[in-house]
Structure 1
Amino acid sequence: MSLHVVLFQPEIPANTGNISRTCLGTGATLHLIHPLGFSIDDRMVRRAGLDYWKDVDIKEHQSMDELYAKYPDASYYYIENFGSRHYTDFDFSDPQEEIFFVFGRETSGIPEELLIGKEDQCLRIHMTDKIRSLNLSNTAAIIIYEALRQQGFPGME
């Protein structure tokens, strides 16, 4: 599987648990960038991930630089509500491409300094102006399933 979900310093354990369950159900790898706002042993994360938590492919990194160094040839997309392009504008159809979807903190998003020079890779989801953003776990599911749809849902029933 070539899809990866990156949570940059996540703060809400239930969101991480829900996203981990989506990763397991889709074959995506979950990357957690420290510091985390909770312990991954926290019972709320386990409850949100149910009994699947131990089966999720989870990688932990101390920084984004560490992640970039480990996967230098990957394609990175940053999901932000101010992204200049919509996620539907991109072609994620190559199942061999290593695709990383980066999501920021629930309260403050991805730090601006991490996005400098990457503005063309900032994606947003269509929504009305009535809300600031969607829930992080919902957003991750939308993006992952769009990429999988474009790839023909490889290895899935």
Structure 2
Amino acid sequence: MRLALFQPDIPQNVGACIRLSACFGVELHVIEPTGFTFDDRAMKRAALDYGPLSHMTRHDSWDDFLRDKPPGRLLLMTTKGATSMAEFAFRDDDILLFGKESAGAPDYVHDAADERIIIPLEANARSLNLSVTAGITLWEGLRQTGHFQSTK
């Protein structure tokens, strides 16, 4: 299972996803351009010392990501999802894709996705934070597929 972030705006979210990548032993793909530089102090503070433990690959563009992405279904997590995560069956090689914080994912990203998934929320709630959504989705995917990286 892998995480992919489409043109993230907020360095703290990328830092939190670096920690997710390191703690659960999954790849993280960052699709540029980003709304910050990778030497941003906020991202480094959020990632703490987990950076060397993560498995992060940066892609210069969406086209580069599509060309180089590993095999597996591309699952777009979106508030415009067609399938509830509560009813979705994850696979080992899924790529969990998250859109840009400020604008979500453009139509061409929606079109490339194999599935569009939504996390059910309260009726008046708009959305969750990107890194919270990534954590919830990754945990559920790993739970369903039985692939936990635990040392205890």
Name the TM-score, length of structure 2 as normaliser. 0.91
| Counterpart position of 1:108 | 103
1:11-46: CA deviation from partner (whole Å, max 9, x where unpaired): 001111111111111111111111011111111111
Code of the residue aligned with 1:43 in structure 2: it is R
Structure 1 residues 72 and 25: CA distance shift in structure 2, 3 A:
closer
Q: Which runs of 4+ in 1 moved over 4 A?
A: none
Q: Pick from 121, 144, 151 the counterpart of residue 150 of structure 1.
A: 144
- In the TM superposition, residue 89 of structure 1 has moved relative to its aligned partner by 2.1
- Structure-2 separation of matches of 1:139 and 1:85: 15
C-alpha contact 2:16 2:131 (8 A) present in aligned 1 = yes
Provide structure 2 residue ranges, at least 5 long, that are not aligned to the other structure: none
- Structure-1 separation of matches of 2:88 and 2:124: 25
- In the TM superposition, residue 51 of structure 1 has moved relative to its aligned partner by 1.1
How many residue pairs end up in the alignment?
A: 151
- Structure-2 separation of matches of 1:56 and 1:80: 24
Code of the residue aligned with 1:125 in structure 2: it is I
Aligned-partner SS, 1:116: helix
- Structure-1 separation of matches of 2:12 and 2:128: 15
- Structure-2 separation of matches of 1:50 and 1:155: 20
- In the TM superposition, residue 71 of structure 1 has moved relative to its aligned partner by 2.9
| Counterpart position of 2:94 | 99
Aligned-partner SS, 2:29: strand
Aligned-partner SS, 2:50: helix
Name the TM-score, length of structure 1 as normaliser. 0.88
- In the TM superposition, residue 155 of structure 1 has moved relative to its aligned partner by 3.2
Aligned-partner SS, 1:123: strand
Aligned-partner SS, 2:38: coil
- Structure-1 separation of matches of 2:102 and 2:84: 21
Structure 1 residues 137 and 65: CA distance shift in structure 2, 3 A:
same
Aligned-partner SS, 2:75: strand
Q: RMSD between aligned alpha carbons?
A: 1.6
| Counterpart position of 1:80 | 78
- In the TM superposition, residue 117 of structure 1 has moved relative to its aligned partner by 6.2
- In the TM superposition, residue 131 of structure 1 has moved relative to its aligned partner by 1.9
Structure 2 residue 137 is matched with structure 1 residue 140 = no
- In the TM superposition, residue 116 of structure 1 has moved relative to its aligned partner by 2.4
